[in-house]
A and B are shown apart, each in its own frame.
Chain A
Amino acid sequence: MATLELQSLQKTFGATTVLHGIDLALADGEMLVIVGASGCGKSTLLRLVAGLESPSAGRILLDGADITDRDPSRRDIAMVFQNYALYPHMSVFDNMGYGLKLKGLDRATIKSKIEIAAETLGLTPLLARKPRELSGGQRQRVAMGRAIVREPKLFLFDEPLSNLDAKLRVQVRADIRKLQKRLNITSLYVTHDQVEAMTLADRLIVMHQGRAAQIATPIEVFDKPATMYVASFIGEPAMNFCAATITQNGRAAKLDAGPELTFTAGPRTAPDGTKITLGIRAQHATIASGPNSIPLAVEFAEPLGSETLLHGTLPNTTPFTLRVTSPAPTDHTIPIEIPPHHIHVFDPTTGTRMDPA
């Protein structure tokens, strides 16, 4: 296994810039998940590392060696494709053996390597089959097997679970993580699914419009989202945003919807009267009547079982979602409170997080 470093990697297609310069460093054995909405450039980033596209600027270093211009066939990188990309005319055995043969290994070595990998993934009884005779989950495992059998320096995963049904996805997700840990495989994993991203990643890179909005551990991304985009993208349901104004020399914020909240983490440097956006997750607001409570006009409820989502609006028509333990109150208007220690402060013009000085 190996380390990977990207230095201000850029990609433009004609007049459109897909990647605006990505800097990234992966430690040996690290699993980094690239997450973002479609069109954010996450797949392009993966294809650049694989060599299937060439960058417009920047460098790619694998184990310290510059591989930016190296042919993809000479990079020693394995990739698991979204549609698995199995070789349809070859048996599972030959699918796994293709890369080994190209490495120049002898028959006996190839056979033993394939057998070990097949055993790991439970593919032994399927080795003689052709891809079209396999189920979706089996094909996925063959794609994994084909990648691990080569013992490459780096693994790339391009949404490998998106073609599986929901139940299988959870299981395979766990299997991939276990395998990745055990074999200590340095991996880049692309997904648009935030649950997949949170559960698999050592670190996350949240992509937005060709830029890395945040690179951090999953918990850090959740607890301290760097931008409003990250805040709304990670976490289910999406974070609520309320307009507010800085008051008391940066020590508090007055919500447009009503109360004034004192910052518990410390004062912000912005002058009084600065417009800000406060973020609060649906599960952090509480039902409570008090001096600081705001009436939430409930429009509809989504029961999820043990919890219920209440969708409604605040007095100034700001949409707001509240997550409460079931059974939820059935009133049309509910008083809610926003605990000051759970709020996130953002600059509404740049969308970036404002932390205490």
Chain B
Amino acid sequence: MERRTLFAGWMLPAVLVAPQLAITVLFFLLPAWRAFGESVRATDAFGLNSSFVGLANFAELFQSSTYQAALVRTFVFCIAVTCLAMGFGLLLASFANRAIRGARVYRILLIWPYAIAPAIASVIFVFLLQPQIGLLTNLFGRLGLDFNYATHADQAFLLVIVIAAWKQVSYNFIFYLAGLQSVPRSVIEAATLDGARGFYRFRTMIFPLLAPTTFFLIIVNIVYAAFDTFALIFALTAGGPGTATETLVVKVYRDGILNLDIGGSAAQSIILMVIIIGLTTIQFRYTGKRAG
């Protein structure tokens, strides 16, 4: 049921929503409008003149093999991060859900990574894995493993996936733990008395009851992996080596800020924006229907 609060006048509600509206306008609508404007223009090399080029920027993007490569890379990255982060989040939540000694401490520790700023998360991993001085690099070296994410493209890609997933595990953990705690205990007990145990009980009883949580998390994780991992990737590899870790958001930055292709970069942002609006709409539709 939707709860509505009734206000006598329009002044108070207006004042209450004003800060949120101001933020939305200042940090979303204005930049988005600006990006849209830039996406249909081409700027000369010195940034002095620009001319209207219609959808040429978009057309160019879809013919560009580097853009297609980044698209595929981002897709793989999203799937990998989502699966890893959700898998581990669910696994850890299942453990935490058992009434064990020290469960509270365990939960708090698991939530910590989420409180760490993305760039800091990368710095932590740099300490561990920096090619020359990293603690783990050293260990890998002794084991005869040549680990150097600055030169090995596949290692770099794997590493950003792991860090991005590591950071998101906490989020999934919190939601899955809440989901598990809302599964009625008596239902699980009934299933147990019916003869179900272990993984079978989890697969046929608990997992289906977590479906709404899972769906919500899939969308959130995809959005996170695709759009919120810029700082993390940028701090660690800046998209390199080569274009090994250049996901769409990183490419927007590299093309626009580093290579000064403002029009092309703006067109990429618009495409990203359309995708994110699409995903959010799907989520709102689905969860809205559920709640109703």
Contacts and interface: CB of A to CB of B under 8 A. Distances in A.
A130 interface: no
Given A74-B195, A99-B195, 20 more contacts: A50-B189, A50-B193, A71-B197, A73-B192, A73-B193, A73-B196, A77-B193, A85-B186, A85-B190, A86-B187, A86-B190, A88-B209, A89-B208, A98-B194, A98-B196, A99-B193, A102-B196, A103-B195, A146-B194, A150-B194
Interface in A76-119: 77-79, 81-83, 85-89, 98-99, 102-103
24 contacts: A50-B189, A50-B193, A52-B192, A73-B194, A73-B195, A73-B196, A75-B193, A77-B193, A79-B189, A79-B193, A81-B186, A81-B190, A82-B186, A85-B186, A85-B190, A87-B187, A89-B208, A89-B211, A98-B194, A99-B193, A102-B194, A102-B200, A103-B195, A146-B194
Contacts of B191: 87, 98
A83 B184 contact: yes
Contacts of B211: 89
B208 A72 contact: no
A72 B205 contact: no
- Nearest 7 pairs between A and B by C-beta? A99-B194, A85-B186, A102-B195, A85-B190, A89-B208, A81-B186, A73-B197
Contacts, number: 61
Chain A interface SS verdict (over half): loop
B132 to A, nearest CB: 54
Interface in B170-208: 184, 186-187, 189-197, 200, 204-205, 208
A258 to B, nearest CB: 54
A85 B190 CA distance: 6
Contacts of B184: 83, 85
A98 B193 CA distance: 11
- Among A77, A88, A146, the most chain B Cβ lie within 10 Å of the Cβ of A88
A189 to B, nearest CB: 16
Nearest to B201: A73
Contacts of B197: 71, 73
Interface of A: 50-52, 71-75, 77-79, 81-83, 85-89, 98-99, 102-103, 146, 150
Contacts of A150: 194
B194 A85 contact: no
A301 to B, nearest CB: 43
Nearest to B183: A88
Nearest to B207: A89
A71 B209 CA distance: 24
Chain B interface SS verdict (over half): helix
Interface residues of B, number: 18
Nearest to A156: B193
Contacts of B189: 50, 52, 72, 79, 81, 85
A85 B187 contact: yes
A82 B187 CA distance: 11
Nearest to B194: A99
B141 to A, nearest CB: 48
Contact of A87 (B192, B195, B200, B205): B205
Contacts of B204: 98
Contacts of B192: 52, 72-73
Interface in B12-41: none
B143 to A, nearest CB: 42
Contacts of A77: 193
Contacts of A52: 189, 192-193
Contacts of A73: 192-197
B246 to A, nearest CB: 42
A351 B190 CA distance: 39
Nearest to A99: B194
Interface string B221-258: 00000000000000000000000000000000000000
A52 B187 CA distance: 12
Contacts of B193: 50-52, 72-73, 75, 77-79, 99
- Among A72, A73, A75, the most chain B Cβ lie within 10 Å of the Cβ of A73
B196 A83 contact: no
Contacts of B190: 79, 81, 85-87, 146
A87 B194 CA distance: 11
A2 to B, nearest CB: 15
Contacts of B200: 102
A71 B187 CA distance: 17
A50 B186 CA distance: 12
A108 B230 CA distance: 56
Contacts of A103: 195
A330 B196 CA distance: 64
A102 B196 CA distance: 7
Contacts of B195: 73-74, 99, 102-103
Contacts of A146: 190, 194
Nearest to B187: A85
Interface in B263-278: none
A78 B192 CA distance: 10
Contacts of B208: 89
Contacts of A86: 187, 190
A82 B190 CA distance: 11
